[in-house]
Structure 1
Amino acid sequence: MRKKQRQGWASPGEQAEQHYLVQPRALAGGGDIRHVSEFLRASGWRDKSKRGGPLHMESPDRAVPITYDPYVLPVGGWSVRGRADGTNGEWSAHLGTQTPVEIVAGLTDALAQPRFAHAPNVWAPLQEQQWHARSEGQTYTATSPDGTAWMQYRQGPEGTALWWTGAKDTQGNGWTATFTPNIPLHLVQALSAELASPEPVLRPRGRVPLSAQIRTWSVSVSPAQLGAWQQARITAARAAIWARTSTRNASPYTPSGGVRTRR
């Protein structure tokens, strides 16, 4: 693990705390789950967590529950489940405990936002970052340039699409995530975009995995700065809700004396 020193980010008079910027993000460790939960809460999701228990969030329509429990057997981590609708059958995703929250948020943020109109392409974000792709029979795999992370698609025996992704270093640190065939592809694409992002992620001192395959830069960050960055995500989530609500409630504009047509 190579460490470099960068100029502190703290404002004068604030007590800065040592953090590290970590690359590649796929090997940065789990991180603070509030990165996921606070965005969902600001997007109108219900926090159904019990005191002292695992995180349990529920979508406004109650169709999608999200839980995080690092202690559940046999494998702890994130669980996301979607109810069957007119387009898709019931689906689920499981992401291991050490999946970086920034990558988890790729999927969970997409659940709280409108879908894009274009057809999803899981591979596009990986191709943009020069991931190596190979095809073996019914299996298609893309691997990060440093070989530590992957995204895999396999055609199942009945034509079902099986997705598998994860990261691993030479010391055995890492995580995996699996998705059932019916998962909406725009969610997998949103996760792949965060997985492939070259941007480092921030981790506090003592929460950086010991790995020969990560690079770190030491930075000084004030609590106020950490709060401001989290607040920026919350503000973005609330702004998206406001925009959707305004669009639904807006009445067609009619110039004075004109006729308004009801639709």
Structure 2
Amino acid sequence: MSKRQQWTGWGQAQQAQQHYLVEPRYLAGGGDLRHVGEFLRASGWKDIARSSGTMLAFDSPDQMVRVAYQPPGGWQVHGAAHGHQPAWQVTLTPQTPVEIVAGLTDALTKPRSAHAPNVWAPLTEKSWSMQQDDYFVAQSPDRHAVVQYVQAGGDGSQNHWWVGARNEHGPVWNAQATASTPLHLVQSLTTALADPEPVMRPLGHVPLSNRIRVTSVSVMPHQLGAWQQARISAARAAAWSRNWVSSRARTGSKASGYARTR
């Protein structure tokens, strides 16, 4: 079957489409931006792409965080200063797999864990090697991905996290996070980075590299839609739960105030 014949299924609801499971995920290519954007939308984030002039842009409900994508620069995630938390920023180049970007951005929509974050734990659990020289560095078992904490300058103002992947052709993508980036977000990023599960890419969107493993699969459009909808539905359910709890807390606070007044 020719490439053209394989792709004629786009407009036919019941025709199977050729996709590929790609691993390791950090060499799978950028992927569909909607994987990130639609989850944020379903989580109650405000779509400001049109007003901001970017391809993709969302503000958090409290307007403290913005996630944006604009080629050729790629992803920009900004967090405003709040209380004891200084401003922070994460940048990810365009070919960063969306599943890894979502490791960070999904975490922005969820309550922070009570456990102390450990950026390195998800990596060592997946047998990444750890080294310490002038900076801390973890390297994937295949040596194609790296996480570093770079200590630059005596006052620490230039310290930052650096994450990147390369194949036989050279660097593929990288991400940088300021040292002020909340550690639980960096841990969510490294968790997604080290996840051994393959990611799916459509025909024509698989990188040309002998460093990846590819499995061909035929997928019905309704199956793709169901998988995407499950992710969106989970985000909506979590947002509804948070709003309900918040509403109950406000109602309880008002009731307590009324009782004290009486």
Alignment TM class, shorter chain as reference = 0.7 to 0.9
Q: CA–CA distance in 1 between the matches of 2:77 and 2:259? A: 40
> Gaps spanning 5+ residues in structure 2: where?
1-12, 250-257
1:142 to 138, 143, 161: 138
- The alpha-carbon deviation at position 262 of structure 1 amounts to 6.8
CA contact (8 A) 2:54 2:68 kept: no
Q: Which has the higher helix share?
A: 2
Q: CA–CA distance in 2 between the matches of 1:21 and 1:173? A: 22
- The alpha-carbon deviation at position 243 of structure 1 amounts to 1.9
Judge which range, 160-169 or 206-215, deviates more: 160-169
Change (3 A) 1:193 1:262: farther
Q: CA–CA distance in 1 between the matches of 2:155 and 2:242? A: 39
Q: CA–CA distance in 2 between the matches of 1:250 and 1:58? A: 24
Report the TM-score when normalising by structure 2.
0.86
1:122 to 106, 119, 122: 119
SS in 2 for 1:50: helix
1:154 to 150, 155, 161: 150
Instruction: Output the amino acid matched with 1:140.
Output: F
- The alpha-carbon deviation at position 166 of structure 1 amounts to 1.0
Per-residue CA deviations over 1:229-252 (Å, capped at 9, x if unaligned) read: 11111111111112222323347x
1:235 to 233, 244, 249: 233
> Gaps spanning 5+ residues in structure 1: where?
1-12, 252-260
Q: CA–CA distance in 2 between the matches of 1:228 and 1:61? A: 30
Per-residue CA deviations over 1:12-37 (Å, capped at 9, x if unaligned) read: x9211000000000000000000000
Q: CA–CA distance in 2 between the matches of 1:165 and 1:159? A: 19
Aligned counterpart, 1:48? 48
For the aligned residue pairs, the C-alpha RMSD in angstroms reads 1.9
Instruction: Output the amino acid matched with 2:196.
Output: P
- The alpha-carbon deviation at position 215 of structure 1 amounts to 0.6
Alignment: residue pair count: 237
Q: CA–CA distance in 2 between the matches of 1:228 and 1:173? A: 34
Q: Which runs of 4+ in 1 moved over 3 A?
A: none
- The alpha-carbon deviation at position 155 of structure 1 amounts to 2.6
Considering Cα pairs closer than 8 Å and 6+ residues apart, tell me whether 1 or 2 has the greater RCO: 1
